[in-house]
Chain A
Amino acid sequence: MAESITIARPYTKAAFEIALEQDDLSGWSAMLSLASAIVSDQQMQFVLDNPAIGTRKQAQILINAHTENQPLSTQAENFVYLLAENKRLSLLTEISRLYEVMKANREKSVDISITSAFDLNHKQQANLTRALSARLSCNVNITSMTDSSLLGGVIVRSDDWVIDGSVRGKLSKLAEAITA
């Protein structure tokens, strides 16, 4: 995982810079997420793992699958060919993820996932959004989910940055303090 990110980073940077030049950040974002979805498909995995299918052929299969849903620009096609040539098509998932991080940085926004014990109402969500954007001084995009094992409270998570305000977290802290 760590190594694939390292390899994916230069590809992502190149794609991102092209997107910036073309002023088409969202277009590339859509293209990369679709391509990554195709690559993670089981049948496509079979194509990628098959040594009998040449790299150019693999790229064409991917491009065809892509154009069925959404047409590709020449640069995007070339990007896919380049990845195939270097046998890095399987990295598209990482590339797409890194691209989204770069895009979010550029747009000064941050994806935050909030896990709570119960569904949050609109007012609570709005409060959290306001507090978090003040703390992080950027726009926050919140995705929320529920996990009843938290018992109460919320866990706020953005990448590897975590605020654990759940009852479960506090209880485990208490358990640690008592048994220490």
Chain B
Amino acid sequence: MQQLNPSEISEIIKKRIEQLDVSSKARNEGTIVSVSDGIVLIHGLAEVMYGEMIAFPNGIYGMALNLERDSVGVVVLGDYEGLAEGQTARCTSRILEVPVGSELLGRVVDGLGNTIDGKGSIKTTLTDAVEKVAPGVIERQSVDQPVQIGLKAIDAMVPIGRGQRELIIGDRQTGKSAIAIDAIINQKGTGIKCIYVAIGQKQSTVANVVRMLEEHGAMEHTIVVNAGAADSAAMQFLAPYAGCTMGEYFRDQGEDALIIYDDLTKQAWAYRQISLLLRRPPGREAYPGDIFYLHSRLLERASRVNSDYVEKFTDGEVKGQTGSLTALPVIETQAGDVSAFVPTNVISITDGQIFLETDLFNSGIRPAINAGLSVSRVGGAAQTKIIKKLGGGVRLALAQYRELAAFAQFASDLDDATRAQLEHGQRVTELMKQKQYSPMSVAQMAVSLYAANEGYLDDVELNKVGDFEAALLSYMGSEHSTLMDQINQSGAYSDEIAAQLKVGTEQFKATQSW
């Protein structure tokens, strides 16, 4: 027996028939001249706009990307096997749009906003253009609030602010996505909405990510936009812009959002494929001339906007609130080569980078962040006061340690000062290790950093540092919960808090074992 669709209820059909506009309007038509690898060449369509949606027979759509004198190059969104030479294509007078709104949270969608998680359709009322111009200077506000990633190494050394663009760069298998997923998990309960854009990834990998987010209760505040490895290059090219539009909705409503593009290397590959098929001239590494603009116009849309902008955008409904969209683009390097074309481009566009290294990863330092090459150009202004105060020494300790470690390999006799510095560096390196899916609160980080700063780790054996930290955090959480709550809420640092931390840590060392 045939199944009845939910949309086949007579009331719905009646409503749709009533709303149907059957008036005949003049439209522009063209004929398909050639179809090849998802690129369709059309003769006609004299009035087509750049980026306009083009309708083909059988409900297939495309996007006009090449407007030439006698032909229009259109990239087909989705399946192009049904298209043939001689078929008609018509203009729709619409620029590509995707659904936006908080209804999308908790769902997995494709680059056009269609659900692909099998949980039924999404009842959004709003749509917005995929390609938009970023807010201008007048509408912006400087970055001064933190996004807590929940990883000690990042929040202490490369702090990220709301509205910042921080690149995560590294070779394959260095934990780039892991940082991104931890960042999403840590936004639970903070009000920051997350968008995870998966580009050119295996479906199994994306399914795993979604499962992990669900397990950690992070899917409720997250939208996953997926353009998998099996999807067309056009979809992989579009997905980041679609995700950005969904994130901008929250920014413009005076909320905070975090978007992760995982990864932009694959988007650049997809765009290179489209450009070459459209016969645009290839440049360096066969990328087209506008590959820089591809990423710069996307990342420029991540921003912090002021309350005037939000008020104007919401027609006065939201007053006195700023909005932000923080971007964490991911770039995969080949054999650590950051001077390749796309990595240098994206490094220069973003406000800093988190550089991950295979050697560190393999030697057990995870997250495998290279403290020397990782920077945050604007996050310092947004860092939580207590982390800023306590974490300031970490970067210095690690830098001195690196310098000495190379030197100490040759020297058998070291003076006490050098040895102390080396040992402190080793312990800080050990302390910066953190397991996946276990983000830490500000107070927990503060306790760990305080212990390292004040030398409480110096008499702890190197291989016991992890256990010491875990025991200390559990002790502080149970015995000094008011202090921990106070730090988590205010994030401030004072002599009083320092004294309480001192008391707590000393009590722990005197009474507990690890």
Contacts and interface: CB of A to CB of B under 8 A. Distances in A.
Interface of A: 1-3, 5-6, 157, 159-165, 169-170, 173-174, 176-180
A6 B44 contact: no
A160 B27 CA distance: 8
Given A2-B70, A164-B24, A159 B46 contact: yes
Contacts of A174: 17, 20, 22
Given A6-B69, A177-B16, A160 B25 contact: no
25 contacts: A2-B70, A2-B71, A3-B70, A6-B69, A159-B44, A159-B46, A160-B29, A160-B30, A160-B44, A160-B45, A160-B46, A161-B28, A161-B29, A162-B27, A162-B29, A163-B25, A163-B26, A164-B24, A164-B27, A170-B22, A174-B20, A177-B16, A177-B19, A178-B17, A180-B16
Q: Is the interface of B mostly helix, strand, loop or mixed?
A: mixed
Interface of B: 7, 13, 16-17, 19-20, 22, 24-31, 33, 41, 43-46, 59, 68-71, 90
A178 B41 CA distance: 30
Contacts of A179: 7
A173 B23 CA distance: 10
Contacts of B71: 2-3
Q: Which 4 pairs show the lowest CB-CB distances between chains A and B?
A: A2-B71, A160-B44, A165-B24, A2-B70
B28 A163 contact: no
A87 B29 CA distance: 32
A180 B71 CA distance: 30
Given A5-B70, A161-B26, A174-B22, 13 more contacts: A1-B31, A2-B71, A5-B43, A159-B46, A161-B28, A162-B90, A164-B24, A170-B22, A174-B17, A177-B16, A177-B17, A178-B16, A180-B16
Contacts of A177: 16-17, 19-20
Nearest to B13: A178
A169 B25 CA distance: 11
Nearest to B26: A163
Contacts of A169: 24
A159 B27 CA distance: 11
Nearest to A180: B16
B146 to A, nearest CB: 44
A173 B71 CA distance: 27
